Structure 1
């Protein structure tokens, strides 16, 4: 991401620190929804969190500016809320190519709870949207979600290994029809969540309208232009 050794070292150091912060925040989020500490301890923790927030809150980036650690040309989006290694809400999901599609495994804690002991249904939709997009990227396609539907065949248990899969079923011009599933890693053939989606490559004028103002961290115009811009994919 940079052409000089000093800059590369600085970027690597920042990436390491940012990943550590993401990991610490994930741990904090999970602890915050499972703690049985007394009110005084919880209040003291809140003050510590506010102090930490103040340390890094100066000069936030604008929504139209990509994070300086992102490299869309390589599919690196460190703050993606599903696959971002530095995003505290992301498990994070590590997606890889396998058997003509993509696959990922996750174990979700109580931070993702909907019905007691089970994953929130909206989280299933979030993860499936990402997986279907990743399947499109793995197939050399690029598009935005035009339609997504899910069938919930059974609840997803928390603190249990899950396997997520997705693959492109067909393509018609700018349209890609993609399917996906979630199952227990211990019983991958018994589908608990099934998803079907339509992803559409926006026409050039739509792409310009949606992403024309997007820049990289240096201010250079950097709209999405290839499948890797939208997904984080680890090759098997």
Structure 2
């Protein structure tokens, strides 16, 4: 929360600014790997990027300090590398509830390329890890990824709408098994990637060891009570 001559700026303004920067950075990354301009133009652009970096670097948080824009109680992680609107790495993915599970659609550009014209296989793992965690959260469960396995049945094409699904397969005590798939949005029944993840809720002593040093944006000691990478599911249709 900041203020100017007219008073306090609503929380929506810094969030919108972060999202705007995230969008601009994603556009820059995509263009940077597809541009064919002359080397002099590329060097000029690199200098502009360095100037922007210097402007942003004058005030930074530590890794143990939560961003002021995050809200763990609502699962809002603005800079999450898969769903964060403020992250240059994120597509970003928007996850929706669907029956007992969750769904999402995403189109990945050339910045996510592995084999020529296809998505890098590691991106499938990143997307599935996030979606499986979101499915657990949507079911009222949580945990940290203990095991993740993927079967690649076919390559995912770039610049093509993809459909992602995930749901809880079983849950007992601190352990949950979540499964998910990736397919083409226009051919959702032909699975190209299949995932299975085991999520385990850490014991209290592990939670303290992992997250005991976390603070909120003001520096107040605030270890999250339900630490997870999973983000909130968008309940809108």
Q: TM-score range by the shorter chain?
A: over 0.9
Q: Distance in 1 between matches of 2:85 and 2:116?
A: 27
Matched, 1:92 2:92: yes
Give the drift of 1:59: 2.8
2:126 is equivalent to residue 126 of structure 1: yes
SS in structure 1 of the partner of residue 69 of structure 2: coil
Q: Distance in 2 between matches of 1:192 and 1:207?
A: 35
| Alpha-carbon offset, residue 229 of structure 1 | 6.9
Contact 1:73 1:228 in 2 (8 A): no
1:135 maps to 135
Q: 1:170 to 1:227 in 2, by over 3 A?
A: farther
Instruction: Give 1:224 shift.
Output: 2.4
How has the CA–CA distance of structure 1 residues 34 and 179 changed in structure 2, closer, same or farther, with 3 Å as cutoff? same
Indicate if the aligned counterparts of 1:132 and 1:180 stay in contact, CA closer than 8 A.
Answer: yes
- Correspondence list, 1:146-225, <5 A: 146-225=146-225
Q: 4+ residue runs of structure 1 moved beyond 6 angstroms?
A: none
Which deviations, in whole Å up to 9, do the C-alpha atoms of 1:44-71 show, x marking residues without a partner?
A: 0000000011111013111100011111
Extract unaligned runs of 5+ from structure 1: none
1:37 maps to which residue? 37
Q: In the TM superposition, what is the alpha-carbon distance from 1:108 to its structure 2 partner? A: 0.4
Where does residue 234 of structure 2 map in the other structure? 234
Tell me, which stretches of 5 or more residues in structure 2 are unaligned?
A: none
Asked if structure 2 preserves the Cα contact closer than 8 Å seen for 1:164 and 1:181, the reply is: yes
2:59 alignment partner, SS class: coil
Q: TM-score, normalised by structure 1?
A: 0.95
Preserved contact between residue 130 and residue 229 of structure 2 (Cα < 8 Å): no
Task: Give the secondary structure class of the aligned counterpart of 2:134.
Answer: helix
